[in-house]
Structure formats: structure tokens, C-alpha cells
Structure 1
Amino acid sequence: MTQSTTVRVGRFHQGRLFEGRPEALDAWRVTTDDADVAAHIASLLGGEPQTNGSEGGPAYEVLTSRDSVRVIMDGPDAVAAHMVLWRNNRIIHQCDGSQFLSPEEKKGQPCGCPPLLQDKKQAARDGRGPTPVVDLTFRIAAAPMLGEFHFMTSSWQLAAQLSDLMDALERIDGPAVCDLTMELVVYTTKAGRGVCYRKPVVTVLGSPDTVPPETPPAAEPPPAPASSAPRRKTKRAPKPATPTVSEPACSVAVDTALLHRAAQVLGTSDHQETVTAALSAVVAGRQQAVQLARLREHVGRIADIAGQALQGEDSSLTRPVPTASQ
């Protein structure tokens, strides 16, 4: 899995460092050293070019409004993957999952990693085994002349799908049009904890001559022309208040009773739908406890506003809230 030696003009990210802390994002972030590239990315994917606050990183960043971007990947060579174990800021193990890639004296020898992916993950959790590093190279389908970008990730989910991805790219036999997506995953653990995060997904669509151009975002209709004729005023229904979550929160525990009440108000049938509907703006992170109080406040506000709007219309709101055992 070798990659093009062409200089890559930018990189896609799923997160950033914000005030010294890692922050997961719900839309792609793009960094580059080229101001013109940053301006083009903003015009294509939304956002505004700004100075990158990360020390030693590219000069510019764009926080886009897109969680999915149509790209062109030049066959299987656009994918590189290996396994790495770091210790004391240096690589002590690098392999392809079955054979060593370095150091040179061990290259080609069995690396000793377990054959099953689940066992590899457990070894990595225990600090005994390496984690995946996947590097994708691509061009943006709407503006391939900008040059090549890349995306690096340690996602086990994407690593597990590499074989299928490579086969799909091989079948295209040339440049392949793909969707690079930050897919939202939401679920409830057995302990009743609501968890959500974004995982990278690559979907191979076909060759450039068989995939229609991506539909641009719909533009807002222009204002109606002024008319000298008097218009009859119509009374508009008031817009319902919509609570917003200003910052992405971390993965946190959510009470089962609170999920049941949210399900009653939102009309959802299970915990996953409830969490998706009420917490769709939440992106998982690593710091669970920091945002717990803030998240509970947001969920409570959602339930209160919806309850006030539906009071008297939904008799289920007057029923006792089920307990966790119900």
C-alpha cells in the first residue's frame, strides 16, 4: 500500500486542540499552508479561513460545515496502513499486522501480533500491542485542481474495513469517486450510559464517468420583488423555541429515567432514537466528567420546553416516569 509522492496541499481532521484540550468536531476541519487553498476550501465546504492556533502546524485552518465530502481516490495506492506502538516518545514496534516493517533487521519477520482484530484491540488497550495508523490520500471531487489532501486516523472501525475498501478500489481499476464521511454513532451501554461519537467511513461510489456530480447545497430563494399593490397581511404562527447546544460535549452517563421521559416527549421508540434526537449535536470525547453537569442541563431544557409545548395534548406527560427497572 504505497502512496503518491506528490506534495499534499492539506489535511483533513476530525478534531482539534482548543484551549489546550482535545476537542472532537461534528464537521471536517481542514489545515493547509496555502492561503488560496484555504479560501477555496471555505467556498466549497463552508466556514472561514483562519490562522491555525496549533504550534508547529500548518498556517491556516478551516472549520467547515460538512461532515461528508465527495473525493477522488487513485486506486488502492491511495491507502496506506500500518500498526505502531509508541513508548517514551519513540516507536518500538511497527508492523503490517503480521510482519515487522521496522527496524530494518526485523523487517519481514513475524511480528507476533494476534491474528484476530478483537485480540489486537485488547492487546493495544493493555499497552502490549500496536494501534492502527491509516493514511488516505485523495482530491476533492468538486475541485481536483487544488491538489492532493490526506486524512490520518487510528480508527479501529476503518482499519477493520480496509480489506473491503481496497477490493472496491481495485474493482474500479482507476480513479474512484468516494464519499469521506464522519458518521455519527449513538448507542446506550448495558450500564445505561449514552455514548456518541463520529467514525470515519469511506464509501466507494464508482468511476468519475459513472457518478453524477454532487448536488450543491440548495440556495435560499431570492426575496420577492416589491409591488405597489397592497398586500393582505397574514398572521404567522410563532416559531417554537429550539434549544441549542453551543459546544460539543463528551461521552457521558445519562439516567435511564431521563431517557424514558425524553422518549415520551420526543415520541421515540428506543434509547438510541432518543439520544439521536435529543443529543444529535453532541460529539463524543475522552473527558466524560467535565461536561456531565452541562449536558444534564441541556437535556433537561429540551424536555422542559417540549413538555410545555405539548402540555395538555399528550396525556403521557402526566403519567409517572418509569424507573430504570421498568
Structure 2
Amino acid sequence: MREASAPPPAYSLKPDGKRIGMTQSTASQVGRFHAGRISEGLPRALDAWCVTTDDVATATRIADLLGGEVQPNEADGGLAYEVLTTHESVRVLVDGPDALASDLILWRGHDVVHHCDGVDFLSPEEKKGQPCGCPRLLEDRKTEAKRGSGPSPSIDLIFRIAAAPTLGEFRFRSGSWKLAEQLGKLDEALRHVDGPAMCELTLELVLYTTKMGRHVGYRKPVLTVLGSPDTVPAEPPPTAEPTPPPASSGPSRRTNRSPGSTAPALTAPPLSASVDVDTVLLRRAAELLGTSGHQETVTAALSTVLESKHHSLELERLRKQVGHIASIADQALRGESSPAYRSEDTIS
């Protein structure tokens, strides 16, 4: 996605209102992470990270780590190579709070007409240090930004990929108000880690229903501080497929026990006919959505990114049953009895 060059200098906003200058050397940065890209001349949001770089070896390594294939980057003014990864979440190393910078910018075409930290102007030089006049409340700032009369966040994060830190530094730039709301907490969390912090950089799926009853989904960037690299692995442990509990000849029994006592071993109940039918329901939903695993199926069922009208109709029916599906999946995996299955729940 085409990015205009950021006006110097960049500053990190601290909870106490003080600014700390932040020097981000672009010479040491080997690539960028993107939540969207330009496709056929139009901006397109992505469900997984896109990484761009000028170095083909770096691009190849990214594809090995995060999936996808190396391809030319067709965006005007962009870096030479692009990898559309298959990962929506990546563990990264952030070198303290100074690796996260934020200011407020209002653009008119390619020109910056307002650049501040929410209190004082940061540029141009003749206005630097003077009160900018922005509202103090974040909601009021968002309102002005939507009207086009106020600046929006410009957040820069510099990091290394935890699984391959020697690749060098990558950059992610965001104008997300949701991420801007978390800057104070992120600053505090990064300060509590002695040295580089292990973090999770995620494109989190957000689903909601509009006032008109339309179901909408989008991805928001989320940075989560996990702790020290000494205690947090560079990659999350693999998720193993759960093993179905063995069938028994009789129903399970639950025994009352006093607080603090050891729970007795429970005999798993046989899978009832209702669970078998519900398993078919999950499998048919997975076939329709092209997913694997119950959690992924339920998440995809809520997504609005389906192309055909037929799929959209199926999606509406899936949404009505998502709570039922999730409950059934959880109970079946734990070997518990499923609630009664109703004929009207069937997906056709």
C-alpha cells in the first residue's frame, strides 16, 4: 500500500504528557508489515500480514517463516518484493517504549497541514512548541478527524521478528484509533520488561452488527506485550488436535467433593446420536468455508468476507447457529452430553 513519507521528527507520546524524541534509522530497516495493500488500483484490507522488502533473500525467509510466496510488489513507490503471508499473528521483539512512536497528522493530498502531539505543534518549525488546539478527549479528536477538520493518529512500531531476529528491523505504521487508545498501557508494559520485550502483533478480527442490522467485520492491529524473551518462546507452541475421549459402556457420574479435594477421574460418556448429528453440522460448515478445526470454523462462519450470494445466504444461517455450534464443539471435545438437537438447526 502506498505510503507518504512521514514528516520529521517523530515523537513518542508518554502517559505523563512529555515527549521523547525518537530516532528511527530507516537504513537499518529491512522491510515493512502491512494490514492492507493496493489491488487493481483499490485499497484492500487483508486477513493476514503482508510484508514488503527490497531484499529478495529477506522476502524468501519471510515466506519460509510466515507462509505465502515471494512476488513483485506492484504498488507505486513501494519496496520491490511482497509476501502475502498466511499468518494473522506474529511474535516480535520490541526494544522498549522508544520503539513505539505516535503523533497526530492531518494531510491535504500530499501536504501536511497539521502535525502535533495532541498538545503542541511538532511542525512546521515556525509553529513548533505552540499549542495545537486539539481537543483533550480522544472521542472528540476522532469526531474532528471524521469531519476532516482534525488530525488522525500516525503510529510507528519498530521491531524484529522473534523467530529470526538477525533478519533486521521491520516497521509497521498504523492510523488505528483503537491502537492509539492503548498507547499508554503499552508504554507502561514495555517499561516493565528489562530489555527487549516479546510481543504479539496481531490483525484481530472484530465483528459487530450495525444499526441497520448488517453484519460487519474488520481487522484491527493489536500489540500485546507478553514478557521477557527469557521466559516467553519466540513462537507459540503448536496446537495439537484434541483426542476424542474413549467411549464407555455407561453414563458418566459426577461426585460431590469438598473444596480443595482432588477431582476423581470421570468416565467419558458415549457419543450420543445428537452429538453425531452436530459433528456432521460442523463438518458441513467447514466444507462450505474451507476451514479446519472447530474454532476456525466458528470464526469463519461469522466472517462477512464471502463472495457469492449463495454463500451469503449460508452465512446468515450459520450465524444463527454459531453459539450452538461452539457449545456443541466444546462439550463434544470434553466428552459431555450435547444439548438436544432441533431439526430447525439443520444447515441445507
The TM-score with structure 1 as length reference comes to 0.73
User: How far apart, in 1, do the equivalents of 2:299 and 2:100 lie?
Assistant: 32
Taking the TM superposition and a 5 Å limit, the aligned residue runs for 1:167-182 are: 167-182=188-203
Give the aligned partner of residue 78 of structure 2. Answer: 57
Give the aligned partner of residue 313 of structure 2. Answer: 300
Where does the alignment leave 5 or more consecutive residues of structure 1 unmatched? Answer: 221-236, 246-273, 283-290, 308-312, 319-326
User: How far apart, in 1, do the equivalents of 2:317 and 2:128 lie?
Assistant: 61
Name the Cα RMSD after superposition: 3.0
Matched, 1:280 2:293: no
Matched residue SS, 1:10: strand
Give 2:344's aligned amino acid: S
Where does the alignment leave 5 or more consecutive residues of structure 2 unmatched? Answer: 1-11, 13-21, 242-278, 291-296, 321-340
Percent identity, aligned pairs only, is 58
User: How far apart, in 1, do the equivalents of 2:154 and 2:215 lie?
Assistant: 28
How far the C-alpha of 1:212 sits from its partner, in A, is 2.7
Q: Deviations over 1:108-146 (max 9, x none)?
A: 111000000000000001111001000100000000000
Partner of residue 87 from structure 1, selected from 97, 108, 111: 108
Give 1:47's aligned amino acid: G
Partner of residue 38 from structure 2, selected from 10, 17, 34: 17
Give 1:299's aligned amino acid: S
Give 1:314's aligned amino acid: R
User: How far apart, in 2, do the equivalents of 1:203 and 1:303 lie?
Assistant: 32
How far the C-alpha of 1:4 sits from its partner, in A, is 3.8
Query: Are 2:301 and 2:319, in contact at CA under 8 Å, matched by a contact in 1?
Result: no
Query: Are 1:70 and 1:180, in contact at CA under 8 Å, matched by a contact in 2?
Result: yes
User: How far apart, in 2, do the equivalents of 1:305 and 1:104 lie?
Assistant: 56
Matched, 1:314 2:342: yes
Q: Deviations over 1:145-165 (max 9, x none)?
A: 000001001000001111111
Give 1:145's aligned amino acid: T
Partner of residue 178 from structure 2, selected from 150, 157, 165: 157
Matched residue SS, 1:137: strand
Matched, 1:7 2:7: no
Matched residue SS, 1:41: helix
Q: Which moved more, 1:64-73 or 1:4-13?
A: 4-13
User: How far apart, in 2, do the equivalents of 1:86 and 1:278 lie?
Assistant: 38
Give the aligned partner of residue 310 of structure 1. Answer: none
Task: Tell me: CA distance 1:216–1:55, structure 2 relative to 1, closer, same or farther (3 Å).
Answer: farther
User: How far apart, in 2, do the equivalents of 1:10 and 1:17 lie?
Assistant: 17
Give 1:142's aligned amino acid: A
How far the C-alpha of 1:243 sits from its partner, in A, is 2.0
Give the aligned partner of residue 103 of structure 1. Answer: 124
The TM-score with structure 2 as length reference comes to 0.68
Matched residue SS, 2:312: helix
Give the aligned partner of residue 250 of structure 1. Answer: none
Query: Are 1:4 and 1:77, in contact at CA under 8 Å, matched by a contact in 2?
Result: no
User: How far apart, in 2, do the equivalents of 1:73 and 1:191 lie?
Assistant: 41
Q: Deviations over 1:16-43 (max 9, x none)?
A: 1111111111000000000000000000
User: How far apart, in 2, do the equivalents of 1:306 and 1:17 lie?
Assistant: 30
How far the C-alpha of 1:89 sits from its partner, in A, is 2.5
Give the aligned partner of residue 136 of structure 1. Answer: 157
User: How far apart, in 2, do the equivalents of 1:208 and 1:170 lie?
Assistant: 14
Give the aligned partner of residue 169 of structure 2. Answer: 148
Give 1:280's aligned amino acid: S
Give 1:243's aligned amino acid: L
Q: Which moved more, 1:162-171 or 1:145-154?
A: 162-171
